[in-house]
Amino acid sequence: FKLLGFLDVQSVPCARESVLYGSVGSLVVGLGHFLATSRVRRSCDFAVGGFICTMLGYWFYCRYNLAQQRIRQRMLQEGMRNRILYEGSYLDPEKNQTGNERRDS
């Protein structure tokens, strides 16, 4: 479904989880403030603030972890590509070198 008519929650990474955690944060903050003060309007304001803060906080946390995961995945793919490319050649770091080959290098 689309949030606010333009944000497709299913296709954007981390959007669904951010909205869900934001709604839970909103409920916790709003209800906690209401139980502490018994002021309805002010509790609703705190609930909206809690939603925004929780949603944005989890959004940045999730996107940061996603970026780290993509970097690790890219490094792993490059390492696998190099392993296939250099396997069996003189550039292979795992190839056992004899004493003569070490002196020539």
Over its length of 105 residues, how does the chain's per-residue pLDDT go in tens digits?
Answer: 566 666 677 777 888 899 899 999 999 999 999 999 999 999 999 999 999 999 999 999 999 999 999 999 999 999 888 777 777 777 776 666 555 555 555
pLDDT at position 6: 63
Tell me, what's the pLDDT at 69? 96
Spatial separation of the C-alpha atoms in residues 69 and 78, rounded to whole Å: 14
Q: Which of 27, 10, 13 is nearest to 60 (CA)?
A: 13
Quick one: tokens of 81?
């590509």
The pair of three-digit structure tokens given for residue 84, joined into one six-digit string: 């296939």
pLDDT at 2: 64
The pLDDT assigned to 84 comes to: 76
